[in-house]
Structure 1
C-alpha cells in the first residue's frame, strides 16, 4: 500500500462503559448526566433517552465505578439505581453527599423497589425519587427527562 493509505480504520470506541454522545442536528450538549445502574438494559435505555435529549451521558455499572466517575468528571446530575454491586445505592448516595467534590451534585434515585422510603432518601440527600415501573408507561421517559431537567435547573451547580 502507498504511504498514508491503510486498510484499517481507527476505532474511537472507549474501553470503559462511559459513553459520550452528540446527536447530529442537536444543539451543543447542555448538561452531563451520570447513570449508575447495573442493569445493562436499563442503563442502555436511559443512555439513549438522555443522549437524544441532548445530554452528555456517562455511565457506570456498579457503585464503586460510579463514585470514581462522579469524583473525576463532576456531572451536573446523577441518576442512581439503589441495588448495585460493590457499593449499593444508599452507601453511594452517602459517599457522594459527604464528599466536598460531589456534595452539590443533585442525585435522582431510580429504583424498582416500591418499599423504598422516598422521604428518607430525600433526608439523606437525594434530590428526587423516580420509580422504574413508571418507565414502562407511555410517557415514562418524558417524565424522567422532566424530573431530571427540573432538578438540574433548580440545582446550585450552574455550569
Structure 2
C-alpha cells in the first residue's frame, strides 16, 4: 500500500479510467454515472471508474494512493467526491485514453471507498489543451481504502467544471 502513481498522465476528452476487468475495455459516459449524485468519478459500472478532468487534452498532475484506512480530507483540494468500488479481478490499472499507457494498481478483490480530489478544474477547462512544455494546470488525487459499499457523495464542490459534471450525472 502507498503511492502507486505520482506524476503526470495524459487525458483526452477530459477522461482517464480505472479498469479491473481484462475482458472489458471500460464503459461510456452515461452508463458510468447513471444513478449517481456526483459527476467526477463514475462508478456505476462494476469494476470500472471513469474519471473526469477539467483539461480536455494533455497532461494533468495525477497521484494514486492505496491506504489502510480513510485519510483526513486535505483542504487544498477544491472538488472532492467519494464512490464505492470493487475490482472484478486482481489486475486493476489506471488507464489513459485508448489505453496508451497504464499503471498497475495492485488492488485486491475487496470493497473500497474511493476519494477523487481535484484542484484547478476551471483553469484546466479554460486552457482546454496543454502541450508538454507548459506547466500543469490542473491536478488530481485518487485514493482507495478498504470500506463497505455506500452511496456516492459530493464532499466538496467549488469549481464550475465540477458543478457542470454533477448536474450531468444527476440528469441521467
* Alignment TM-score, normalising by the size of structure 1: 0.27
User: Which is strand-richer, 1 or 2?
Assistant: 2
Indicate the structure (1 or 2) with the bigger Cα radius of gyration. Answer: 1
> Of the two structures, which has the highest relative contact order with CA contacts closer than 8 Å and spacing of 6 or more?
2
Flag the structure with higher helix content: 1
